[in-house]
Amino acid sequence: MMGHLSDIELTYIERLELEFMQKGREISRAIGREEGILLGKRTFLLRLFAHRFGEVPADIVSRIDAIQDHNLLDPLVVQALTAQSITDLTFPEPVTDEND
């Protein structure tokens, strides 16, 4: 009969739904981890800047907050360890959306 699902088909669909929901949870956790890493590195970097150079200017805080890839923050840590002044730091170019 068309329109009716057999128990086997229903079980298969239920299993696919379960797998889909599990994948969704895994993706959500991965995104949460990435956001946590980014926030942690930003916080560490701003504390390092404050320790090394004193009060961090608002424009520097904004530039750090604008960085969306946590891997781009690592070179700034290395620079901050050796720079004489916060103005000696070289920030990555902001990433712009090509559709803008």
Q: What is the pLDDT of residues 38-88, one digit of tens each?
A: 999 999 999 999 999 999 999 999 999 999 999 999 999 999 999 999 999
pLDDT band at 14 (very low <50, low <70, confident <90, very high): confident
Other Cβ atoms closer than 10 A to 55: 9
Q: Residue 5 corresponds to which tokens in the numbers above?
A: 């699902």
Q: Residue 9 corresponds to which tokens in the numbers above?
A: 């088909």
Residue 7 scores a pLDDT above 60: yes
Residue 100 scores a pLDDT above 80: no
Closest CA to 65 of 84, 98, 29, 91: 91
- What pLDDT is attached to residue 1? 45
Q: What is the dihedral of CA 30, 35, 40, 46, to 10 degrees?
A: 160
